[in-house]
Amino acid sequence: MAGAKLLWFAFLCVAMMSMATAQSSRSKSKTGKGKEDLKKEINKLWREVNLLKEMQALQTVCLRGTKVHKKCYLASKGAKSFHSANEDCIAQGGTLSIPRNTDENSSLRSYAKKSLTGVRDFWIGVNDMTSEGKFVDVNGMAINYLNWDRSEPRGGTRENCVAASIGIGKWSDEVCRNEKRYICEYLIP
């Protein structure tokens, strides 16, 4: 229902914009300044319409995937290397999923279990590519939560990308160019 409301609001904005445009072309007496104001107003409305479209797209993602706390997760259809997987998520307006605490990790694992059948593990947005042993998120920011499996990480400079196991949700470092399924996360504004 929220989606329908958004669309309705977007429609109203567009209607107002076209009315404003029509009015401006009718009133020949309008000064240059008046036209500038109108232009500004139309640009503002246009930005709002685009923002609404983005929110609508986000809601669609959330409906197709799952919504947990303030994030939506959507499982990948295919397997990709770590970099390609993250690029794919970014192209859709998200990032590789980054579990920030035990709750998020277990929600992510249960969604993965349902949606990524027949795989052992999946990429998460954590890596130590820039500085060996210093694991950060895909934005390069330090992370407070880690959930290593027993005796992990152990790949040294050969394994710099992190995967979570479907079975228990524990993490291990893996070779980044390996192709794995993944889950993108989208932050809800």
Judged by CB, which is closer to Ca ion: 70, or 154?
Answer: 154
170: number of CA atoms within 13 Å, CB side? 9
Told to check if 174 binds Ca ion by CB under 5 A, we report no
Closer to Ca ion by CB, 56 or 155: give it: 155
Of the residues 104, 121, 128, 149, which one makes contact with Ca ion according to CB under 5 A: 128
User: Where does this chain touch Ca ion (CB under 5 A) — which range of 2-10, 34-42, 134-142, 157-165?
Assistant: 157-165
Task: Please give the single-letter amino acid code of residue 169.
Answer: G
Stretch 55-94: interaction string toward Ca ion, x if CB under 5 A: ----------------------------------------
Q: What CA–CA distance (Å, rounded) separates 23 from 39?
A: 12
Instruction: Indicate which single residue of 160, 161, 171, 183 sits in contact with Ca ion (rule: CB under 5 A).
Output: 160
Q: Residue 34 corresponds to which tokens in the numbers above? A: 């008046």
Count residues binding Ca ion (CB under 5 A). 2
Largest CA distance in the chain: 78
Tell me, what DSSP letter sits at residue 144? S
Provide, rounded to whole angstroms, the least separation between the CB of residue 12 and Ca ion: 53
- The span from the CA of 159 to the CA of 177, in Å, is 9
Beta bridge partners of 184: 74, 96
**What is the SS3 assignment for 176?**
coil
Considering beta carbons, is residue 41 or 152 the nearer one to Ca ion?
A: 152
Residues found near Ca ion in the complex (CB under 5 A): 128, 160
